[in-house]
Structure 1
Amino acid sequence: MILIHHIGAKTGTVRVNPLVYFPQPDSSMLIVASKGGAPTNPDWYHNVLAHPRFDVEVGTETFTVEAQVLTEEERAEAWPTIVAQRPGFGEYEKKTSRVIPVVRLRRVT
């Protein structure tokens, strides 16, 4: 699990959400804006778009990341691996007509 400390798009308030993450070979991490297959994206996703630099907690480590939504091609490549590791995301995809966004988090040095 990862804890993202995102900043409210309208309020500027720091909020914390626990999410599943997928470590990548390039040391980045992917998170999925599934909202359980709801018809709209989760609030944290809108906040991350508005304020893409924020802190995360992974295990005992806290660090700053920069978020970027995967392109359509990048998502198409990553999605099968995400669903293979966590089949629930495939079930969420079946529940909604929206394309579930995938966000890459890269550590800021």
Structure 2
Amino acid sequence: MARKTVEQMAVNNIETPEGDPDVEQSMEFFLYFPTEWDAHVTKSCLMNLQFDTSVHYSESSDSWLCLAKKEIKPTKDRLLELKNFFDRLATAKNGSYDGWGTTVRDNE
């Protein structure tokens, strides 16, 4: 299944009874860059926006991953806003935004 389809299904599930968009969740955002420098410049920008960030070399993609984490309320609108922001941020440094992930919490 295409990544965009999977991501849209995940966004749709956030605002269903199984997900609660009013509760902050730890979200991870994946940005890839051709150089370590570009990844670190992006890391600095995201740290200023209160994201926990790290940079790692990804052998599987032969590029540098800038992983950004933040506790947010993941509404559809907020995730779309962040997607557009990360797309612009990554593109400005010859990189690419590769989506987001979250940990499923058991409320029991």
TM-score normalised by structure 1 residue count = 0.27
Between Structure 1 and Structure 2, the one with more strand by share is: 1
Q: Which has the larger radius of gyration?
A: 2
Quick one: higher RCO (CA 8 Å, sep 6+), 1 or 2?
2
Between Structure 1 and Structure 2, the one with more helix by share is: 2
